Amino acid sequence: MRRIHEQLEERIRSQFGVFFLIAVVMLWMKTYLVQVTQFDLGVQGILQQFLLLMNPLGSALIILGMAWLFRGRRRYAALMALYFFLSFLLFANVMYYRFFNDFITLPTLFQTQNFGDVSGSITALLNPYDFMFFIDFAVLMILLFSKHIKSAEGTVKRRAALTFMGIGLVISGLNLALAESDRPQLLTRGFDRNYIVKYLGMYNYAVYDAVQSTKASAQRVLADSNDITEVVNFTNSNHAEPNPKYFGKAEGMNVILIHLESIQEFLIDYELHGEEVTPFLNSLTKDKNMMYFDNFFHQTAQGKTSDAEFILSNSLYGLPQGSAFTMKGMNTYQAAPAILGQEGYTSAVFHPNTGSFWNRNEIYKSFGYNHFFDASSYEMDPEQLADYGLMDKPFFEQSIPYLETLPQPFYAKFISVTHHYPFSMDQDKTTIEPHITGDQSVDDYFQTARYADEALEQFFAYLKESGLYDNSMIIMYGDHYGISQNHDAAMEEVLEKEVTPFVSKSELQRVPFFIRVPGMEGGINHSYGGQIDILPTILHLLGKETKDYIHFGTDLLSKEHDEVVPFRNGDFVSPTVTAVDGDYYDTETGLPLDESKIEEAKKYHEVVEYKLQLSDRVVNGDLLRFHSPDAFEPVDRSEYDYSLDASRLDDEEVE
């Protein structure tokens, strides 16, 4: 009896063994193919190629190997569940990558609302061949059901489990050692998720991310009031004194911020089919009362729009993973609306999308925004909808009556949505032909940009008519790239040049930035700067000192302004040096940096990394709760409620 039982157990084990090995090989091959074809990992050289091939094998053995810990039929069920889970993880990352040119992190999973809202984009992201991501799973299913699988009662053979997982661990360990030899500090620096996937593969990346995210939430708990001291010392030494020529030039004026969704600098003066794409923006760059910054860069990462908002409201960097808006909405902030609120300003955001997107309806309270006019405040005519809400022309039109209810001076931000990936628009609303690169999102980008430009012109016409133009400071900024690196081939046609790593950083991260203060001379300003510099610049123009605040940027108009512009992954650009992926280039020529200047570049690099690290400490540790700038009342979130904003026009008396 016992013998029969053992034989049966043995048969199942050997059957399962074959099934298991088929699963391992299929998952390994699929993951490798996906990593090669779906992601742009920048693989260079034989070693990196080899690692890319090997890295899914170790993970497949370890993770699928866990199935051996179960008995009988459960062993098959566990294997299928693990296989499906990994396949789904891979597929979800492919979808995410198509949209964000980046990998999923755990914090982004908390943005389920966002994922629900991007459904419009998801259909655009799906390819007809996407079902192939699950073909292997179907094959395994067929194999499974075509056989009669018996269950066994025998003891669990942990030896087999441990052998396979052990082999997997050895392969992964070797993999990590080789990766570290090629890219030292791979895991400790972790600035760039691409590297982790390239060297360690998709599944190890997921483990890495889980560890990172858990660490981040522990940080707040562990932080205490002493941690702020080093930050204060740094921001004090980094402070740039206001330039008396500009300080207070906009004192008492309204502030109108216009968030130029996905507008990149290359659009300025770009001609398509012999026409200007953004004639209005182009004219503003030449307006002598408008200050236009032509060396200005976005510094956003995964949080995109929300990162841009976060950076410019606080002069703090966004997080390396996820969006500070969603992950750190309840933190203490000393943001622009709160600072100005205490100077008698009323603040408001106008944005015709669901209020919960990017967790705005929560974090705006922490920033001290008095009003938030979200989609519920607008008539969302189905004929006039873009993927993320109401199209820009009706958006601005419908915002005006609300704007007029605000007591002056106000601080008002307008966030438009039409010019957003995938840049699709009713053809009868377009006024310029698409580009002809053959890459649809790139081609359509020019049509929505034209539309956004026209909407902006109409809003300016209103500002002029209403007189607001003469008593308001206007700030406009491009939030982030619209065209991701996945479209470099088409961008080469657009720019008529090769998109090298240098071009990708120094040109394609460039966004327009404008400041208009009535009575202040404008013109083109060539200072290098980024979104981190916006807050101190605005506050100084309004005549508000910033020395007491923790700001990582410096006033663009100050003589002491710091022209080294950090990017979120540790790269940077300055008038002399541009750093991309650890390589240094001469900013003027784009050629590798002269040996004699490398030391200086390295110093910049250290400061850049230190700044990012300190800013992360502030945000992760929620350190502003320990900082009390002079004459600043901490924000009390409970005082803010946006639920009545939508009915504001119905009120008879509006305060």
Partner in contact with 276, chosen from Mn ion, ligand GP9, none, beta carbon below 5 to 8 Å by kind: none
Q: Are 481 and 509 in contact (CB under 8 A)?
A: yes
Q: Are 512 and 296 in contact (CB under 8 A)?
A: yes
Q: Please give the Cα distance from 69 to 158 (Å, whole number).
A: 6
The least CB distance from residue 233 to ligand GP9, in Å, is: 34
177 is written with which tokens? 């050692």
The least CB distance from residue 492 to ligand GP9, in Å, is: 24
Query: How is 422-472 classified by DSSP, letter by letter?
Result: T----GGG--S---SSS-HHHHHHHHHHHHHHHHHHHHHHHHHHHTGGGSE
The least CB distance from residue 479 to Mn ion, in Å, is: 4
Q: Are 435 and 443 in contact (CB under 8 A)?
A: yes
The residue sitting closest to Mn ion, measured at its beta carbon, is 305
Q: Please say which residue, 324 or 417, places its beta carbon nearer to ligand GP9.
A: 417
Partner in contact with 353, chosen from ligand GP9, Mn ion, none, beta carbon below 5 to 8 Å by kind: ligand GP9
The least CB distance from residue 374 to ligand GP9, in Å, is: 9
Q: Please say which residue, 304 or 393, places its beta carbon nearer to ligand GP9.
A: 304
User: 């039982």: which residue's tokens?
Assistant: 5
The least CB distance from residue 486 to Mn ion, in Å, is: 17
Q: Please say which residue, 268 or 511, places its beta carbon nearer to Mn ion.
A: 511
Burial class for 27, CB neighbours closer than 10 Å (0-12, 13-18, 19+) = buried
Between residue 256 and residue 295, which ones bind Mn ion under the rule CB under 5 A? Answer: 261
Asked whether position 302 contacts Mn ion by CB under 5 A, the answer is no
562 is written with which tokens? 């710091």
Q: Please say which residue, 278 or 305, places its beta carbon nearer to ligand GP9.
A: 305
Between residue 6 and residue 35, which ones bind Mn ion under the rule CB under 5 A? Answer: none
Q: Please say which residue, 487 or 611, places its beta carbon nearer to Mn ion.
A: 487
Asked whether position 306 contacts Mn ion by CB under 5 A, the answer is no
The least CB distance from residue 306 to Mn ion, in Å, is: 8
The least CB distance from residue 118 to Mn ion, in Å, is: 12
The helix (run of H) or strand (run of E) holding residue 514 is: strand 513-516
Start-to-end CA distance of the chain, whole Å, equals 89
**C-alpha closest to that of 403 among 468, 353, 339:** 468
- Residue 423 carries which side chain, given as an amino acid letter? F
Count residues near Mn ion (CB under 5 A).
Answer: 4
Q: 3-state secondary structure string, 86-155? A: HHHHHHHHHHHHHHHCCCCCHHHHCCHHHHHHCHHHHHHHCCHHHHHHHHHHHHHHHHHHCCCCCCCCCC
Catalytic residue among 105, 305, 346, 537: 305
Q: Please say which residue, 262 or 370, places its beta carbon nearer to ligand GP9.
A: 262
The least CB distance from residue 195 to ligand GP9, in Å, is: 23
Q: 3-state secondary structure string, 12-55? A: HHHHHHHHHHHHHHHHHHHHHHHHHHHCCCCCCHHHHHHHHHHH
305 is catalytic: yes
3-state secondary structure of 635: coil
Q: Please say which residue, 263 or 635, places its beta carbon nearer to Mn ion.
A: 263
Q: Please give the Cα distance from 65 to 95 (Å, whole number).
A: 27
Q: Please say which residue, 296 or 626, places its beta carbon nearer to Mn ion.
A: 296
Name the region of 631 (left: φ>0; alpha: ψ -120 to 50; beta: rest): left
**C-alpha closest to that of 206 among 365, 376, 30, 85:** 85
Between residue 459 and residue 498, which ones bind Mn ion under the rule CB under 5 A? Answer: 479
The contact mask relative to Mn ion for 425-464 (x = CB under 5 A, - = no) is ----------------------------------------
Q: Please say which residue, 84 or 266, places its beta carbon nearer to ligand GP9.
A: 266
Partner in contact with 16, chosen from Mn ion, ligand GP9, none, beta carbon below 5 to 8 Å by kind: none
Residues forming contacts to ligand GP9 in the complex (CB under 6 A) are: 304-306, 353, 357, 388, 415, 417, 420
Asked whether position 305 contacts Mn ion by CB under 5 A, the answer is yes
Q: Please give the Cα distance from 198 to 49 (Å, whole number).
A: 9
The least CB distance from residue 370 to Mn ion, in Å, is: 23
Name the region of 44 (left: φ>0; alpha: ψ -120 to 50; beta: rest): beta
User: 């067929």: which residue's tokens?
Assistant: 142
User: 């360990």: which residue's tokens?
Assistant: 173
Q: Please give the Cα distance from 567 to 45 (Å, whole number).
A: 26
**Residues with catalytic annotation?**
305
The residue ranges that bind Mn ion (CB under 5 A) are 261, 304-305, 479
